[in-house]
Amino acid sequence: MGRAFHDALRQCGSTLAVVFLTGHGDVPMAVEQMKRGAVDFLQKPVSVKPLQAALERALTVSSAAVARREIILCYQQLDAERA
């Protein structure tokens, strides 16, 4: 379920960052999802500090993605106005 949802987010160009939290993950699954853009992959049970750190990284990644998207849209609008 989580991997399919992550793929769907990527396909639609979402700026949401993904942190996987699983009780059944393994190293190959973690590597696969990190290559696909997940910010982190945590194994349950997880303590507060690693979870908080992962969520802070996710917020940073999402904020940067939103800023990039806004810049791209601004340039596209300027380019369309010049045409």
What residue has token string 């993950």? 25
Over residues 50-60, the pLDDT tens digits come to 999 999 999 99
Residue 83 has pLDDT above 90, yes or no: no
Q: Which fold does the domain 2-82 belong to in CATH?
A: Rossmann fold (3.40.50)
Instruction: Return the higher-pLDDT residue of 2 and 71.
Output: 71
The DSSP result for 26-38, as a single string, is -HHHHHHHHHTT-
Say whether pTM exceeds 0.85.
no
Which residues have CB under 8 Å from 49's CB, separation 6+? Answer: none
| Domains of the chain, residue spans | 2-82
Q: Are 2 and 20 in contact (CB under 8 A)?
A: yes
Q: Is the pLDDT of residue 25 over 90?
A: no
Task: Taking residues 7-13, report their average pLDDT.
Answer: 92
3-state DSSP percent of the chain in helix, strand and coil, to 5? 65, 10, 25
Name the one residue in this structure whose structure tokens are 């639609």. 12
Average pLDDT rounded to a whole number, residues 39-61? 97
Q: Is the CA virtual torsion 10, 15, 16, 17 positive or negative? A: positive
